[in-house]
Structure 1
Amino acid sequence: MSTASQAVNVLNFLPEKERAAIRAGVSTYDCTMGIQAAIDSSSKVFIPSGTYLVKQIDLKSGLELYGEGSASQLKAYDNSLQCEFMMVTHIRDGGTKSVADNMRNVHLHDFLLNGRVDEFGYMQYFYLLAVNATSDMLVERVTFHGFRGDGMYVGSGTLHDTERHNQRIVVRDCLFDGLVKANRNGLSIIDCDTLTVDGCTFQNIGNAKLSSSVGAIDFEPDHNWGIYRNIIIRRCKFIDINSVNTAGITFFNGHQTGDNIHGWTVSDCEFVNCYWGIYGATKPKTKADPTDDLTIVNCNFVNSIRYDVFIGGLSNTQISGCTFQRSPPGSGPGGDAVRLGTYVWKASDNAVRAVVTGNTFIGIRPQMGAVGIYGANDVVCAGNTFIDIRGSCLSFAMDDTSDKARKIQNVVISGNVARRAPQASGVSRGVMSFLSTSNEMRTVKATLSLGESYEYNNSVEDGITKIAAGSAIQFLGS
């Protein structure tokens, strides 16, 4: 991206009589045409501090657009369709499905976009930044404030059946603040090959009236030609993403047809007061199907309302070095820290090749278990520490499903520690068991035989039940 050209100042493209009011944040002037003229005239455009009422700003290749931090505010002019996309690369059928034709080398930094959701309310397709058919974009230190739909939309076009692809998008040190939880997603990914989200904060995002594809970051391609792969989410914070059915991150692989969807890493992130921390929505899969390859490492989950990590039927998942905690211990309505497998729409989704290692679980009050294994093929749960679990550390489902496809097999449980923390005076901790069987999320008396499975070298402190009363679990490894 070019930095050689001298920056033009957008104020020089706006009426002189309006400039003082813009700088003071009290202008009612429509700044759209002036800012657009500045962008059309130069590859480097500066937005001084002030409040600029705008409708739609069209970006271009080779552009650096920047301000003076959140003091440089672009604010939705009104709630009309003219403000549907505040800032955009391509809309409608702009661009082509060939990435060679993409808009490229766009650098946006140090300004604030305000969608005014607190004034105008929710509107699904109103985006602060819409990115389509774009390669090599860097967005850093931008505040996405009060978005009505998505804060930033990385899509395949703004028409439903338009095929467009994005490449190499970096979102760094940005703030996504939904303000009043009447929006959709902070960052919505429909199509992107190689995405890095680094050091961002997502807060106050959600909408209790909408479906589960709502939250801080939502990966949800619309077509089988959609791409999202080579995803890195690191050093991010997800705070109060706690409307019902709302997730810090949602990974959806329903349009996976081969190599188009896979390869996601979430590392060194914090999830605080989220309904779900990470939610994996999937179609039923087998070992022969293309893999998802989700890695979650060194993350901290505190006071999730339901699941911290819901794998569903994702394949090749690793969860390592994470902390899952309820504070105070046993608080909240109850939910598993990690859930493997699910049964939805009368179809069983068994997790395939799941590794849960080196994690710490503290004070979880689970529905099934701190690790709830509903359906899974190849599971390793090793080297974890379970402290003051208000129920079972690991629970295996006995539920009957109409498709008869729910299975638990090839399970290794090894090297885990189950213990109590020093007890505070007058605090009841209930019964804690290391293993149990469950049905419809409740511990039940049952006999379970697990083929090609092993349980060994686990340390269960005296006073903690090794296997819940009435359960008989046989590990049939040879």
Structure 2
Amino acid sequence: MVGTAEGFNDRWNVNAMAPILASRRRLLTSVGGVTAAGVLLPIVERSSEPERVVLPEFRRRGDRDDTAALMRAAETGRPIHAPAGRYLVSMTAAENLPPTFRLKGDGAKATVFARSYSRPSPFILHADSGSPNPRDNFMDYRIQGLSFEDDVAQRGFSEFDYLVMLNGVTGALIEGVEFRGFRGDGLYIGSSTVRSQERHNAEITVRACHFDGMNANTRNAISVLDCDGLVVEGCTFWNVGRTGGPLPPDPMNPFTGVQSPGAIDIEPEPTGFSRVQNVSIRNNLFIGGGGYAVTLNMFENTGKAFQRRFSISNNRVLDRYGGFSARGFASGSDASIPYDIAILDNVAERCRKPFLVDGMHGLRVTNNRFIDCAEEGELGYHRRNFEVKLASNEFLRVGYERGFALWIRSSDGLVLRENTFLDCGLRDGSRGIPIAFVSGVSTNVSLLENIVENRSGRTTEATTVFAEASVDRRTLTVSGNSVRGPVDRGPTALF
């Protein structure tokens, strides 16, 4: 049966429903919409984010730069939009961003925050919660689509001048940001500006950012003193870090003074409370500069101060001094807490030194490629390593300046498994030794299914033991290793 208008009216009593329908239209108009003909539009959920304020609107006559305008905008508690343009900003340790801060530009090339030199100040942006308790941390920081800039080319190196410093912050996203020409560190994730003042950071993500050291006369792109849950992904690092040299430090010459740690430096201080854990550094590109692409400078783990669970994966390192460095103070005792570090699926190419591992307990180097590196990778330097494993790595033409691919000093529990050493050694073929035990005592060593191959005539001997070194044969395990091409196996029963 087809219903009529009259039947419809009788059944639903349109007149009685009119006030309800009108009320519903008003509601839908506020969240969705109604056309002029009264047709309901789809409901669109409104964003809960407050309306943004526009930074230039907070400028006032008499301001010496844009610092005061930025602070006025930040004090509203609303997200800040910085339209395309150049903003001069600097902050002292006494000046502080608010507990919640969101700043967005129109793109890293369009919106530039440059350091203001109208007064002495070490930061462009500075945030410090003022509390050792993570519950009091500043929350929900967002910095996106802009650049920070200093003038290292004209003003030179200055270790304690930073672009952005965060102390006591939880839940920060730094995305699509360029850090250019920094004289000290680009981004400092710290534990206050005063040594031994306790702060803790958590859940910080640095994504799709670009760090340009310009002339490699900087300190680090990212320094981390304290953080639980750090992700650095999809970033590029160009010409970051001073190379250093034998001459006294000259701020205008990057080949003098002390070498910078590198692009990303995990550097907790021996304060008794620093904590760095759950760190992932992945899918980044490092080109040029002094120091290492990633440096881990650790202290011995204790109950309150610890460094653990690091993953460094799928990064590419080109034309730098070094690939990866991990230094610590592991004791190897039963009570020692492993650092739990994984360096995997990376490529280090045309670096002077592929890696340095010293004083580590619990470190894995897996499925990496080290290509055309001038010097050898080093396991051990000043301190003994414990439970270090190298597996499924490729060493291609490594050691063309000194003739070695891998130097091993004192170690306990070292495993070399399924690594390939191809054409490692001096280019003239006078010395090429992929694996060398150079000093100290190594115990519980396992050499399993490694391949040494000589195609170009560089490699002469698979392994050697220097006079200053010894390998405990009672705890040595050797199995399945092979040589290809004209290569001497080296000391009996070692390969």
CA distance in 2, matches of 1:3, 1:181: 43
Aligned residue number for residue 272 of structure 2: 224
Q: Does 1:432 align with 2:460?
A: yes
Q: Does 1:145 align with 2:180?
A: yes
CA distance in 1, matches of 2:125, 2:296: 26
CA distance in 2, matches of 1:109, 1:255: 36
Q: Does 1:394 align with 2:435?
A: yes
Q: Are the equivalent residues in 2 in contact too, given 1:29–1:53 (CA < 8 A)?
A: no
Aligned residue number for residue 62 of structure 1: 100
Given the alignment, which residue of 375, 378, 381 partners 1:335?
Answer: 375
CA distance in 2, matches of 1:319, 1:157: 33
Aligned residue number for residue 286 of structure 1: 332
CA distance in 2, matches of 1:106, 1:224: 27
Given the alignment, which residue of 12, 18, 34 partners 2:57?
Answer: 12
Q: 1:431, CA displacement in angstroms?
A: 3.9
Given the alignment, which residue of 356, 367, 382 partners 1:321?
Answer: 367
Q: Among all aligned residue pairs of Structure 1 and Structure 2, give the percentage whose two residues are the same amino acid.
A: 26
Partner of 2:75: helix, strand, or coil? helix
Q: Are the equivalent residues in 2 in contact too, given 1:154–1:191 (CA < 8 A)?
A: yes
Relative distance call for 1:462 and 1:182 in structure 2 (3 A) is: closer
Aligned residue number for residue 399 of structure 2: 365
CA distance in 1, matches of 2:403, 2:330: 21
Runs (5+) with no aligned partner, structure 1: 19-27, 327-331, 344-348, 400-405, 424-428, 441-445
Q: Does 1:116 align with 2:151?
A: yes
Aligned residue number for residue 346 of structure 1: none
Aligned residue number for residue 289 of structure 2: 241
Aligned residue number for residue 269 of structure 1: 315
Out of 118-127 and 268-277, give the one that drifted further.
118-127
Q: Are the equivalent residues in 2 in contact too, given 1:185–1:214 (CA < 8 A)?
A: yes
Aligned residue number for residue 78 of structure 1: 117
Q: Are the equivalent residues in 1 in contact too, given 2:463–2:494 (CA < 8 A)?
A: no
Q: 1:473, CA displacement in angstroms?
A: 5.1
Relative to total residues, which structure has the larger strand share, 1 or 2?
A: 1
1:351-362 equivalent positions in 2, closer than 5 A: 351-362=385-396
1:39-54 equivalent positions in 2, closer than 5 A: 39-54=74-89
Q: Are the equivalent residues in 1 in contact too, given 2:442–2:471 (CA < 8 A)?
A: no
Partner of 2:135: helix, strand, or coil? helix
The amino acid across from 1:116 in the alignment is D
Q: 1:63, CA displacement in angstroms?
A: 2.5
CA distance in 2, matches of 1:15, 1:110: 25
1:79-478 equivalent positions in 2, closer than 5 A: 80-82=119-121, 84-90=122-128, 95-207=130-242, 208=244, 209-212=256-259, 214-222=261-269, 223-242=271-290, 246-254=291-299, 256-258=301-303, 260-288=306-334, 289-305=336-352, 307-326=353-372, 334-336=374-376, 338-343=377-382, 349-365=383-399, 367=402, 369-390=404-425, 391-397=432-438, 399=439, 406-421=440-455, 423=456, 429-438=457-466, 449-467=472-490, 471-472=491-492
Aligned residue number for residue 23 of structure 1: none
Larger Rg: 2
Q: 1:176, CA displacement in angstroms?
A: 1.1
Partner of 1:37: helix, strand, or coil? helix
Q: Are the equivalent residues in 2 in contact too, given 1:177–1:203 (CA < 8 A)?
A: yes
Deviations 1:285-315 (A, max 9, x none): 214211111101100010111x211111211
Given the alignment, which residue of 57, 61, 70 partners 1:35?
Answer: 70
The amino acid across from 1:219 in the alignment is I
CA distance in 2, matches of 1:146, 1:325: 29
Deviations 1:197-227 (A, max 9, x none): 1111112112224435521011111222111
Q: 1:80, CA displacement in angstroms?
A: 4.1
CA distance in 2, matches of 1:134, 1:15: 30
Partner of 1:184: helix, strand, or coil? coil
CA distance in 2, matches of 1:186, 1:447: 40
CA distance in 1, matches of 2:294, 2:118: 28
CA distance in 2, matches of 1:407, 1:37: 63
CA distance in 1, matches of 2:300, 2:126: 26
Relative distance call for 1:169 and 1:439 in structure 2 (3 A) is: farther
The amino acid across from 2:313 in the alignment is S
Partner of 2:50: helix, strand, or coil? coil
The amino acid across from 1:430 in the alignment is R
Relative distance call for 1:448 and 1:52 in structure 2 (3 A) is: closer
The amino acid across from 2:408 in the alignment is I
The amino acid across from 1:73 in the alignment is V
Q: How many positions carry a matched residue from both structures? A: 423
Out of 429-438 and 123-132, give the one that drifted further.
429-438
Q: Are the equivalent residues in 2 in contact too, given 1:324–1:360 (CA < 8 A)?
A: yes
The amino acid across from 1:173 in the alignment is A
Q: 1:166, CA displacement in angstroms?
A: 0.8
Runs (5+) with no aligned partner, structure 2: 1-46, 245-255, 426-431
Relative distance call for 1:277 and 1:110 in structure 2 (3 A) is: same
Q: Are the equivalent residues in 1 in contact too, given 2:441–2:471 (CA < 8 A)?
A: no
Relative distance call for 1:287 and 1:357 in structure 2 (3 A) is: farther
Aligned residue number for residue 443 of structure 1: none
Relative distance call for 1:136 and 1:236 in structure 2 (3 A) is: same
Deviations 1:1-20 (A, max 9, x none): x852111111222269x9xx
The amino acid across from 1:457 in the alignment is G
Q: 1:449, CA displacement in angstroms?
A: 4.5
Q: Are the equivalent residues in 2 in contact too, given 1:13–1:37 (CA < 8 A)?
A: yes
CA distance in 2, matches of 1:50, 1:255: 47
